[in-house]
A and B are shown apart, each in its own frame.
Chain A
């Protein structure tokens, strides 16, 4: 289904994401999201791009969960003044 110009139907007083912004979003997300990268450019609809973006952000939020869990377990078992804590601190220097 091809993209229809949003000017065909009046959208009411509130501004929506314009077609140009969608094109900009798509071209930048293309580098980040493999799903959009693989599909043909003229077939990408605004709602699909928004959906992929939301899914990606949600998956990134979930990816933060695992290291948080592990770190929480780790910090629970080591003493803050121990040698291990010093090693972790020195990782950044």
Chain B
């Protein structure tokens, strides 16, 4: 089963249309602005390839419609950093508790791991577009779907750029 090639083709088709309008609309963009516009058009193309049939694709399309230079992924970086600090302190707490008596350890360890699951679920929600409004059940399906399309996006972008640079 290789759905990846057709996914990649679908993505590329839609992305090219978006790119043409992106590069012709504003010739005075800085390199950074153009890069953000490229990423935005790639996200919208990926979401369109999914036909807006999933929560993440609808969220990306909405983000694309509402912003000109949107970077929907950037907002989660600060939260990810503070959550990494929290994770590290949890790990230290786990290590300290492992040295204490066994009988108390069992109850606390499972509550720590439940805390970790909760925390990481929140992080995952911040990574998937539109994740904040998903319940845990659909989060898993959306994650797997999103990853598949993200891989097609990476493949497609690489192929196009590699081929474009060869012609120069």
Contacts and interface: CB of A to CB of B under 8 A. Distances in A.
Interface in A1-39: 1, 4, 6, 8-9, 11, 15-18, 21, 24-25, 28-29, 32
Nearest to A51: B120
B124 A92 contact: no
Interface residues of A, number: 49
Contact of A17 (B140, B144, B161, B164): B140
Interface residues of B, number: 54
Contacts of A17: 117, 121, 136, 139-140
Contact of A64 (B114, B120, B157): B157
Contact of B120 (A24, A50, A70): A50
A67 B12 CA distance: 13
Contact of A91 (B35, B128, B160): B160
A73 B165 CA distance: 11
A88 B22 CA distance: 14
A55 B15 CA distance: 26
- The 3 A-B pairs at the shortest CB distance, nearest first, are namely A50-B120, A47-B116, A67-B157
Interface of A: 1, 4, 6, 8-9, 11, 15-18, 21, 24-25, 28-29, 32, 45-47, 50-51, 53-54, 56-58, 60-61, 63-76, 80, 84, 87-89, 91-92
